[in-house]
Amino acid sequence: MQIICISRGSHEYSSELAEKLSQKIGYTAISRELITDKATEYGIPVGKLEMQILKNRPLSEEMSIVADMYKAFSTAFTCEKALKENIIYHGRTGHLALPGLTNVLRIRAIAEEEYRIKIVMNRLKMTREKAKDYISHIDEDIRKWTHTLYNSDLADPAKYDLTINSANLTAENAASALVTFSQLPEFQSTPSSNQALQDLLLAANCRLAIGSDERSRSVNVGIQANKGNVSVTYMPRQANDAKMIPDVLKSVEGIKSLVCTVATTNVLYLAEKFDPNDDHFLNLIEIAAKWNAAIEIVRIAGENETPAEIQQSDLTAATAKTGGILDDSSSEISSDQQGFGITQTMDKLIQVGHAGGSRTIYGGTDSIIKALTKTEQYSLVAVGDVFSAKGAASQRIKRDMVSKLKEKFRVPVIGTEDLKAKYLFGPKQLFSMIGFAIISLLIYWIVLTFQEPILIFISKGNFGGSIYERAFAALAILISIPIVAFSIGGFYGNFLKLLKVE
């Protein structure tokens, strides 16, 4: 089913646009107010959460769980509706509640300030200045809400496919244009997008079940679902309460397998193929063990590769054999049949207790950046071999992707070949530590042995002698300080790696 999300830059204009579009296209309109009311009826204290956010107070652990529950409810409510019928969401963050769905038509509806001021003046009987202040406060409140819940900026144009300005288009005409725009193939549902919807719904339902049960509601979890395979991560200090999670999730429909992993953070591992016995991957596991982290593996498919269930040739052959009904299970084993090693690698992660889920992203760098939601909390992004089909250009494309990932997540993004040198202690680090130790000892020996001439040199350079002598002394100090700092820092950096101290 199709999903259209209208993000409000103006409440009145956006609501009118959603209503007009609903009438013209026949889709069901869903407002933020409806979801908020339903969430409150479910037992989530949305009002209390909003007040704490608007007062600029850091969220307590309890309120962080409330925020997580509200996000899960919003996602579950929207996905459940979208799996049954075409919908139009209008509110603040509908598009952010559906991470990874590429076929959602995302619209930003804005209005000129004067238009909004006049609306508020008429509706609330305010003076112009008070109406202007009121709008400013509302915009700031929405900014706080969006940033706290989704770590995102609603005004970012990259979040939308289209921006509509009320100054240039009436709601009636804008709705007419959107009817045509919504029929573009990029925004149509596919078997792949329906599967993604089901995965989002399953993960959200699992989060709601955990947060609603007395035995597990205090556990702060991260949940991912992939074709019925659910991965739950939790903090070590919550291990006792988390033991009840498998029992709590028994009532949730759609779970084929469940993995519960203790984690303090997440590590993202991107590659074209996976080998559970690869040295670089074993280094990543060692890092995850040090950090008590869950590893999420993401396979990067080729730019020209598409999911098997939506390839035209496969569709033709499948429909000829089944009378138009596709076998949903056929795509689940395709990756490992083609030798990508996802199942074996996940089995390895499950064995060592660091499984964080798996998925496949189709397309190039832009598709990858778009599919990886910023709301995920990663401490490290490791990039293996990608874009091998590009030949000599693969390294350049990989560097470009690494740069964009750094900009998006603001965490270390590093090639798997550099993991050991950066985070682990090995023979190379041992020789490096010894070398830095020798240089540091040599510097100390020179300073302690030749204290008097050094002090005379510095004192003459600072208090006597010609301008050239003073300049030379200052230059010598300027050069020597970074050398000393680099040598001592290099020794202690490697020494702390040896002691496995972060």
Strand ranges across the sheet with 28-31: 28-31, 87-91, 3-8, 105-110, 162-165
Q: pLDDT class for 373, splitting at 50, 70, 90?
A: low
Q: Residue 199's domain is classified under what CATH number? A: 3.30.70
Q: What is the mean pLDDT of residues 320-348?
A: 54
Residues 70 and 136 in one domain: yes
Residues 114 and 7 in one domain: yes
Residues 206 and 258 in one domain: yes
Residue 326 reports pLDDT greater than 60:
no
Q: Is 216 exposed, middle or buried (0-12, 13-18, 19+ CB in 10 A)?
A: buried
> What local confidence, expressed as pLDDT, does residue 500 receive?
63
Q: Domain of 55?
A: 3-187
Q: What is the mean pLDDT of residues 187-199?
A: 92
Report the predicted TM-score, pTM, of the whole model to 2 decimal places. 0.65
Which H/E stretch holds residue 462?
Answer: helix 451-463
> What local confidence, expressed as pLDDT, does residue 356 receive?
78
> What local confidence, expressed as pLDDT, does residue 501 receive?
62
Find tokens 């070949």 and name the residue: 417
> What local confidence, expressed as pLDDT, does residue 162 receive?
94
Residue 327 reports pLDDT greater than 70:
no
d(C-alpha 235, C-alpha 229), whole Å = 21
Q: 214, 245, 262: which is the final residue of a domain?
A: 262
For every residue of 154-180, which 3-state class applies, written as one string?
CCCHHHCCEEEECCCCCHHHHHHHHHH
Q: pLDDT class for 173, splitting at 50, 70, 90?
A: very high
- Per the DSSP assignment, residues forming a β-bridge with 233 are 222, 261
* Backbone angles phi and psi of 155, in degrees to 5: -80, -5
> What local confidence, expressed as pLDDT, does residue 303 receive?
64
**For 399-454, how does the pLDDT look when each residue is reduced to its tens digit (9 = 90+)?**
888 888 888 888 899 998 888 888 877 777 788 889 989 998 998 898 888 888 88
Residues 376 and 308 in one domain: yes
> What local confidence, expressed as pLDDT, does residue 39 receive?
96
Report the half-sphere exposure of 188 (CA within 13 A, side-chain side): 7
Q: What is the mean pLDDT of residues 194-203?
A: 94
Q: 187, 218, 238: which is the final residue of a domain?
A: 187
> What local confidence, expressed as pLDDT, does residue 335 receive?
44
Q: pLDDT class for 465, splitting at 50, 70, 90?
A: low
Residue 251 reports pLDDT greater than 50:
yes
> What local confidence, expressed as pLDDT, does residue 342 receive?
86
Residues 244 and 127 in one domain: no
More confident of the two residues 99 and 200: 200
Q: Residue 278's domain is classified under what CATH number? A: 3.40.50.620
* Backbone angles phi and psi of 224, in degrees to 5: -135, 145
> What local confidence, expressed as pLDDT, does residue 365 receive?
78
- Count of structural domains, the chain: 4
**For 11-70, how does the pLDDT look when each residue is reduced to its tens digit (9 = 90+)?**
889 999 999 999 999 999 999 999 999 999 999 999 999 998 888 776 777 888 899 999
Q: pLDDT class for 460, splitting at 50, 70, 90?
A: low
Which H/E stretch holds residue 267?
Answer: strand 265-271
**348 within 8 A of 289, measured Cβ to Cβ:** no
> What local confidence, expressed as pLDDT, does residue 5 receive?
96
Exposure b/e, 38-50, CB count within 10 A at least 16 = b: ebeeeebbbeebb
Residue 456 reports pLDDT greater than 80:
no
Residues 115 and 76 in one domain: yes
Kindly report which listed range (3-17, 109-123, 382-396) carries the lowest average pLDDT score: 382-396
Q: Residue 22's domain is classified under what CATH number? A: 3.40.50.300
Residues 199 and 336 in one domain: no
Percent of the chain with pLDDT over 90: 37
